[in-house]
Amino acid sequence: MLDVPLLSGPPRPARRRPAPLRIVIADPAQRAEYLRIRREVFVREQGIFTADDRDRIDEDTRTVVLVALGPEGEVLGGVRVAPVPEGRDIGWWSGSRLAVRRGARRAGGIGSALVREACSTIAGLGVLRFDATVQLGAAVLFDHLGWQRVGTTTVQGVPHLLMQWPIDRVQSLVTGTKSALGGVLEPLGRAVPAGAASGPGAAVPPRPQLGGQGFVGDDAAPVPGTDLVAACDAILPAMVDRDPEWAGWCGVLVNVHDVAAMGAEPVGLLDAIGARTVREARRVAEGIAEASRAWAVPVLGGHTQFGVDPSLSVTAIGRAARPVPGGGGRPGHDLHLTADLHGAWRPGYEGRQWDSSSTRTPEALQDLAGTVRRARPAAAKDVSMGGIIGTAGMLAEASGTGAVLDVAAVPAPGAAAHGDWLTCFPGFGMLTADPRGENRMASRFARTARVGTLDDGPGVRLRWPDGVETTALDAAVTGLGTA
């Protein structure tokens, strides 16, 4: 936690300001003035430090200093935000050294404006945990702004509160993409009723739907009475419209990975293309064809329609004698992530879609798609639009467990903010569960690491290097229930 006070004193009653405040990221001159104001507050006024209040955070090139400017551009106060652990940024940041110039405090509202801007700033930096160490007299301000009290400490002999800004990034992501599934798909989950078959007295027994027993919540599903599995995924219409070739590529990618997550070998594809013009449909088809060759999975047929809004859905068929379920985890199982860290953010989808596949060789893509088939873990889920955290929640939900993720253990590309990586579509990422010590996931084109455990708790919790756990998902992700 922080070893510094965040506020210079208790909040004062708000008064009318002569002009709206401007909060900006400090330039070198503004940063120097902010440091001078800090010395006035923490050294001369409060005597918390004897000579200077600067520390290693001021020297960290990742530290962001925000300053409040008055009508003439003068610095009225400031605050800094920075990663807490030294070394790799794992999405844990803190705010500190909030100080307001003595003569500017009469206006009121400067401290709260800086805190609000700090919270807004870290939201854009892929941060999943934001802490502050706050003087007791300032706690009411942070309470009012929605911060949570999580403990107490002493800094330089002065009592402080440990406080945390609630970040709901992951919960909002799954609420918008997954949480309604259980209710929407409930009619499809009912068994097909028994019915008469050909021949005297013959009957067809009831057949379960949506995967069947043991496979509820999987992205692919076993076809009853065969060794086939099938998956179907649609691509966002906006992507089809904006980047048709990439949409075609992704249509194959997501379906091949859904089949591969069940330990199946992909054997064929079907597509349904909607486009305004013949040329647009051809561009989508070219992307599908390129991906089909890369993964060595033939397109068997499909449907194409012109004069309609852009759309694309792809179906993949695979073979697996014993499919690997997404809900095969048990409390005490280890969670492993196998991820391809090669690549970069897809242009136009920064922070949301990592492109690890378009520059990989067919050999690499096909090797990655075979990881679950070779390893046969107890449970496997392809990392999807819910990101690593949301996918862990879906695996846990189908398994009837909770999950704890060790944030610092998750392998990530150096070019991706950790919070973005944990919530993005990563190109190739496979979460698997196995009894301790039994993981066999491996590929020379990916990194595999133990990233957490399944337990009896609800939802998904994030475990940080200081041992603190924060809640990322407080309940089941989809509402589809246990497999």
Q: Give the tens place of pLDDT for each residue, 412-431.
A: 999 999 999 999 999 999 99
Residue 19 has pLDDT above 70, yes or no: no
Instruction: Note the pLDDT tens digit of each residue in 354-366.
Output: 999 999 999 999 9
Kindly state the average pLDDT of the residues 135-139: 88
Q: Using 50, 70 and 90 to split pLDDT, how confident is the model at 403? A: very high
Model confidence at 210: pLDDT above 90? no
Instruction: Report the C-alpha gap between 48 and 105 in whole angstroms.
Output: 20
Reduced to 3 states, what is the DSSP secondary structure of residue 34?
helix
The better pLDDT of the pair 219, 369 is held by 369
**Structure token pair of residue 23:** 């909060």
Nearest-10 crossing angle of helices 362-369, 278-295: 70
pLDDT band for 8, please (50, 70, 90 cuts): very low
Q: Which of 131, 164, 166, 132 is nearest to 149 (CA)?
A: 164
On the question of pLDDT at 2 being above 80, the answer is no
pTM of the model: 0.88
Strand 195-196 vs strand 203-204: parallel, antiparallel, or unpaired?
A: antiparallel
Q: Give, for 420, the enclosing helix (H) or strand (E).
A: helix 418-423
CA dihedral (265, 267, 272, 278) positive or negative: positive
pLDDT confidence of residue 219: 87
| 237 Cβ contact partners less than 8 Å away, ≥ 6 residues apart | 309, 310, 311
CA distances from 364 to 255, 296, 333, 443 (A): 17, 12, 29, 9
* 229: its two tokens: 């599995």
State which amino acid sits at residue 229. V
- Cα separation, 277 vs 304, in Å, equals 11
Higher-confidence residue of 21 and 13: namely: 21
Confidence of residue 179 (pLDDT cuts 50, 70, 90): confident
- String of DSSP letters for 168-183: -HHHHHHHHHTTTHHH
Burial class from Cβ neighbours inside 10 Å (0-12, 13-18, 19+) for residue 351 reads: middle
> Residue for token digits 């200093």?
65
Report yes or no: 429 and 337 within 8 Å, Cβ to Cβ. yes
* pLDDT one-digit tens code per residue, 38-57: 999 999 998 888 888 999 99
Which band of pLDDT confidence, cut at 50, 70 and 90, is reported for residue 91?
very high
Q: Side chain identity at 107, as an amino acid letter?
A: A
CA triple 450-481-407, angle to 5 deg: 25
Strand 129-135 relative to strand 148-155: parallel, antiparallel, unpaired?
Answer: unpaired
Least confident residue range of 155-159, 163-167, 342-346, 454-458: 155-159
For residues 438 and 333, give the distance between their C-alpha atoms in angstroms, rounded to a whole number.
Answer: 9
Mean pLDDT of the region 223-240: 95
Closest CA to 315 of 300, 330, 305, 326: 300
User: Looking at residues 118-125, what average pLDDT do you find?
Assistant: 93
Nearest Cα neighbor of 416 from 475, 482, 347, 341 is 341
Alpha-carbon separation of residue 333 from 93, 269, 395, 423, 439 (angstroms): 30, 34, 12, 23, 10
pLDDT at residue number 209: 64
Average pLDDT of span 313-336:
97
**HSE value, Cβ hemisphere, 13 Å, CA-based, for 91:** 29
What span, in angstroms and rounded, lies between the C-alpha atoms of 164 and 169? 15
Separation CA 272–CA 295 (nearest Å): 19
What does each C-alpha distance from 54 to 6, 32, 275, 368 come to in angstroms?
Answer: 13, 12, 60, 48
In the chain, how many H helices and how many E strands? Answer: 13, 23
Please, what is the end-to-end C-alpha distance for the chain in angstroms? Answer: 40
Please determine, for residue 193, whether its predicted confidence score (pLDDT) is greater than 70: no
140 pLDDT above the threshold of 70: yes
Q: Which two tokens stand for residue 390?
A: 């949301």
